[in-house]
Structure 1
Amino acid sequence: MTRELSSERFATRQVRSGFRTGLPQNPAVVPIYQTAAYEFASFAEAEAIFSLRRKGNLYSRTGNPTQTVLEERIAALDGGVAALATASGQSAVLVALLTLARNGEHIVAARQLYGGTLDLLTDTFADFGIDVTLVDQNDLDAWRAAARPNTRAFFAETIGNPTASVLAVQEVADIAHAAGVPLVVDNTVATPALQRPKEFGADIVVYSATKLLGGHGSSLAGLVVDLGTFDFGAEPARWPQFTQPFPRVGDVVLWEAFGQAGSAFLAYAKVKLVHDLGPSLSPFNAFQIIQGVETLDLRVARQSGTALRVAEFLAGHPGVSVVRHPGLPGDPGHEAAKRYLPRGAGSVFSFDLAAGAKAAPAFVDGLELFALVANIGDARSLVIHPATTTHSHLGDEGLAGAGFTRATIRLSLGLEDPDDLIADLDRSLGLLG
């Protein structure tokens, strides 16, 4: 189904990559292949596909033609060698990291992460016997000091949620590579429209496609992209899942069969983890995300510009004590944003109410255009109080470590008129007195 494109330009790839016309019935739009399984042409074909000696569809738990278009399109936008779609962003993080780390092994991750990711890393991964060390993402010495012989990945968000912190991707990637491990980044808030992490040394990218890639808050989806930059064959003993025979597929050595260019990493992720755990993306949701991707750069540019305008307004409002947006001069991430996010710093950021945490209920309930929704990246503008929702498991110390307080409000800017959004915020802040 792949169509090779002569153009390398982003906008063309977001509309055309991964799909060609000329299929039966000549559809102009990617079809929804609503099927659980696939008929094989012969006994030999079935055997070859199941043993990974031939590409093909075998069962929709591990892949579907609609999903394949989405995977190839996102891989093209990120400059990766392959991608894997999953049922949610959370499952994408899970699959990516479990492909690298197993019982008794270790991951180093940033403290400045989405609350659900923190839950996964600090709670569920402990159940799996995987140790996770959290570090301040801006403390490069902390990244170096945290690495161990059994470390298998570094993990962080390129733009933090909810604080809009900016990761120094190149510097952290260099430290990860010196420790012999890949850097995995969650690029959900930036999307490939604002940053292609491969250009700064990252090795694997994950997305909650539910957010800006889909863009309309209608469908859950996740993606893992192998950028094809990490050589798992350089230290075979460290990566036995790729460099030793894989018994369930006829003792195939994935690194020999697929290597970097064919993504041994994602072959293992699909054949073992997606097959066994079942975080499968439905064909319909894959179709919905594809529709969103086709307008990605237009939406992200508009939303990012609106977010900066709103942040500038809030920074000058007496009812606001702190605004965390890297587009603002004086923000801790401002200089990093010039390097890593020259096309915009995203549409998600946070601020603190000058009246403190006690004012949060009145402020949120007083908004009319901003919807109180535990999501980001929607076409509609959204608001949430992280300390009582997405990060409610954290105490005051944990919130401080993540970079915000109980007075913090998170905004996700949509496609409405910026002046209307500013008026809504101004009016609700005025209700606080």
Structure 2
Amino acid sequence: DNTVATPVGARLFDQGVDIIVHSLTKFIGGHGTSIGGIVIDSGNFDWSSQPDRFKILVGPDPSYHGVVWADALGPAAYIGRVRTVLLRNTGAALSPFNSFLFLQGVETLPLRMERHNSNAKAVAEHLAANDDVAWVYYPGLDSSPYKEVADKVLTGGYGALVTFGLKGGLDAGKSFIEGLELFSHLANIGDAKSLAIHPASTTHSQLNEEELASAGVTQETVRLSVGIENIEDILGDIDQALAKSRAAAAA
């Protein structure tokens, strides 16, 4: 899944990957206007080489007149079945207008990702230096345990997602989100505009402490999808929201 890195950030076929998926709704579309996804096959994998693992591709497919996809299409067996059986069964076909919007988004993807990457790194560094922040997760930080891997895989930048925790816990996280003015409070990621969410009080609010922990979410967790606005505006909004959160905790 190369949704977050995008083709700009990670050239996965060059790294040996055979199948890549993207949520087009995120960075490729870039504006939160359409829902869509894409599956990309490198066309280089020999599906017949591992018949025990890929039985549906190397044996007769009863759902499609008994065709043996590997015999009929060779390396294109997987993507051929996706285009026929999966598309037929799910109806997952983009509308022409949504396709147009995604194509419009692709045109500016490299420029947007350049700004996403630089802004997100600046935000991560800014948060890491703030006394109200308990921790920051961003692969571009020198303190990240994933920095070495990120340097190898994310050849085009570290991405736009920054996750951090506030020392005040659940209430601090909620107050921070409510205090934001530039950031939009949305569960999506990848828009040109900056987005923020506090999972424990929204998307994961139905989970108890144990379930939150198993999902990798803590009470203080805040996720930012850093947009392409002016970095001073972004940092200013974060700082004033942190101040509001601090004041609410002291009240």
TM-score (norm 2): 0.92
Match of 1:330 among 131, 143, 159: 143
Once the 2 structures are TM-superposed, how far is the Cα of residue 397 of structure 1 from its aligned partner?
Answer: 3.2
Tell me the residue number matched to 1:354. Answer: 167
Residues of 2 paired with 1:292 and 1:314: CA distance? 30
Where 1:238 maps in the other structure, the secondary structure is coil
Match of 1:284 among 65, 75, 97: 97
Once the 2 structures are TM-superposed, how far is the Cα of residue 310 of structure 1 from its aligned partner?
Answer: 0.8
Tell me the residue number matched to 1:173. Answer: none
Tell me the residue number matched to 1:16. Answer: none
Tell me the residue number matched to 1:207. Answer: 22
Offset from partner CA, 1:333-360 (integer Å, 9 cap, x none): 1111111113211001210011111112
Letter in structure 1 aligned against 2:142: P
Tell me the residue number matched to 1:379. Answer: 192
Question: What is the root-mean-square deviation in Å for CA atoms of aligned residues?
Answer: 1.7
Matched, 1:194 2:9: yes
My pick for the range that moved more, 351-360 or 418-427, is 351-360
Letter in structure 2 aligned against 1:382: L
Contact 2:164–2:221 (8 Å) recurs in 1: yes
Tell me the residue number matched to 2:231. Answer: 418
- Structure 1 runs (4+) greater than 6 angstroms displaced: none
Matched, 1:241 2:56: yes
Tell me the residue number matched to 1:316. Answer: 129
Letter in structure 2 aligned against 1:356: G
Contact 2:137–2:163 (8 Å) recurs in 1: yes
Contact 2:11–2:155 (8 Å) recurs in 1: no
Where 1:259 maps in the other structure, the secondary structure is helix
Can you give the 5+ residue segments of structure 1 that lack an aligned partner in the other structure?
A: 1-185
Where 2:120 maps in the other structure, the secondary structure is helix
Distance 1:202 1:402, change over 3 A: farther
Once the 2 structures are TM-superposed, how far is the Cα of residue 270 of structure 1 from its aligned partner?
Answer: 2.2
Pick the structure with more helix per residue. 2
TM-score (norm 1): 0.54
Contact 1:241–1:268 (8 Å) recurs in 2: no
Once the 2 structures are TM-superposed, how far is the Cα of residue 246 of structure 1 from its aligned partner?
Answer: 3.3
Contact 1:211–1:378 (8 Å) recurs in 2: yes
Matches within 5 A, 1:358-369: 358-369=171-182
Can you give the 5+ residue segments of structure 2 that lack an aligned partner in the other structure?
A: none
Residues of 1 paired with 2:177 and 2:31: CA distance? 22
Match of 1:220 among 22, 31, 35: 35
Residues of 2 paired with 1:393 and 1:279: CA distance? 30
Q: What percentage of residue pairs aligned between the two structures are identical?
A: 46
Between Structure 1 and Structure 2, how many residues are aligned? 246
Once the 2 structures are TM-superposed, how far is the Cα of residue 329 of structure 1 from its aligned partner?
Answer: 1.1
